[in-house]
Amino acid sequence: MANVINIVIKRAALLLVLGLLALSASPVAAADIALDYTCTLKDAIKAANKDKGESKCEAGSGADTIIFTRDDRPRSGEQPSITEDLVIIGGNHRIDADNNDPVFKVKAAHLTIRDIKIRFESIRNGPAFEVVNGKLTLINVVVENCKRGVKQRSSHTIIEGASDICGLDADDIVEGSGTKAISIPPPPTPATCRDLPPGVATVSATYGLTSGVQCQIVDGAGIGIQSVVDAGFIAAVNLWAYVEQGVDICFPRLGSLIFLDSGITPRAVSAIDAYRTGHSVCARLTRPGTVVLMPGEPPAEMQTVMSEPAPGQPAADQPASAGCPIHTTGHLRLRAEPSAQAETLDYVQRGSNLTATSRTTFWYQVSYHGQTGWIGHRYVRANC
């Protein structure tokens, strides 16, 4: 009987010891690593990778979270690769990065970054992010002064919210093998002339309400051309002051547009390039005048250019614009032909001052870094 009791006691003691060992070996919770003047981004990433404190940065086990408490300028030298799952909360702070390496490299891990702005010190040609056999999630992340966004290999990239990666279109942000899920809205076109009654027309200019563009609804007397009035116009808007920067006007219904050029005396009907967006008809102006919305097709004596290029087809040629100075207000592709399906020769940076040598309805021909090609009209301010 005594032997049985001894065996039971020994087994209980052994189970207790094993339980204590298991408890002491269990990992601590993941840590929140706050960046300050003693804990740098480089050291925080090292700590998260090793699940061990680095310099003044503490770390837990598992997917740690790095929290920005101030703007950061990483020290020169390569940023360590991220090899463990990590979340970075920017708190709407900024990283001022050099151009030597990607800001973040991910290897066989999941990196999530949110609410931060990254700006390179000068135009960067290499990718801003690299992901190998991993996953990258960007939420409300803005990256500036760069030409390439994410380079990945056998990875998955997710981009959401109010993100703007190098000013690139959604289709151009991620390159390489793997998958992507990008759901970011297109940049809004700054609006101006907000005093126009709703439902009549919307007018958009490059610098929004600070563009200095003026507009006003006019009636038949304001149009002043009896043949237009007799044809039964629907609406008319007069635009003046700084229109040369490039102004888009859209009427929220289909029809045709004619233009009364203020620079011609007496005023006469002039041709205008119009395009359709959904159930709206729009036009882009670079000179002051009155835009008139007509029902259906305009009378024969008022026929205007009303075109939109079919997929893969260039728009009809317009008069040459040799020597026309233009300014880009967004990042644009330089294409070999005036077509969205044409080969991309280069990327024209936002803020470039160029000279157009020719144009079509929707494209300008320019020379950029020794190459001649075509850029779309959407984010171009022309002074001609």
Task: Please report, for the chain, how many H helices and E strands are present, in that order.
Answer: 4, 26
Classify residue 316: in a domain, yes or no. Answer: no
Q: What is the Rg, in whole angstroms, of the alpha carbon atoms belonging to the chain?
A: 30
DSSP track, 216-236 = EE--HHHH--HHHHHT---EE
Is residue 179 located within the same domain as residue 244?
no
Is residue 151 located within the same domain as residue 205?
no
Classify residue 378: in a domain, yes or no. Answer: yes
pLDDT digit string (tens) for the chain, length 384 residues: 555 455 544 555 555 544 544 444 444 456 788 887 788 888 888 888 888 888 778 776 777 888 898 888 876 666 789 999 999 999 888 888 877 777 899 999 999 999 999 988 888 888 999 999 999 999 999 998 888 999 999 999 999 988 989 888 888 899 999 999 999 876 555 566 777 777 788 888 766 666 778 889 999 888 888 888 887 889 999 998 888 778 889 898 888 888 998 877 777 787 677 777 777 888 888 888 999 998 875 444 444 333 333 333 333 334 445 577 888 877 788 888 877 778 888 888 878 888 888 877 667 889 988 899 988 876 777 766
Omega within 30 of 0 (cis) for the link into 266? yes
Classify residue 55: in a domain, yes or no. Answer: yes
Classify residue 6: in a domain, yes or no. Answer: no
Is residue 298 located within the same domain as residue 341?
no
Is residue 207 located within the same domain as residue 146?
no
Question: Residue 368 sits in which domain range?
Answer: 324-382
Is residue 364 located within the same domain as residue 330?
yes
Classify residue 3: in a domain, yes or no. Answer: no
Both structure tokens of 89? 């909360």
Q: How many domains does the chain have?
A: 3
Is residue 355 located within the same domain as residue 280?
no
In angstroms, the CA 39 to CA 84 distance is: 19
Classify residue 2: in a domain, yes or no. Answer: no
Closest CA to 68 of 36, 38, 27: 36
The model carries a pTM of 0.48
In angstroms, the CA 144 to CA 135 distance is: 22
Task: Give how far Cα 337 sits from Cα of 314, 359, 371, Å.
Answer: 8, 11, 12
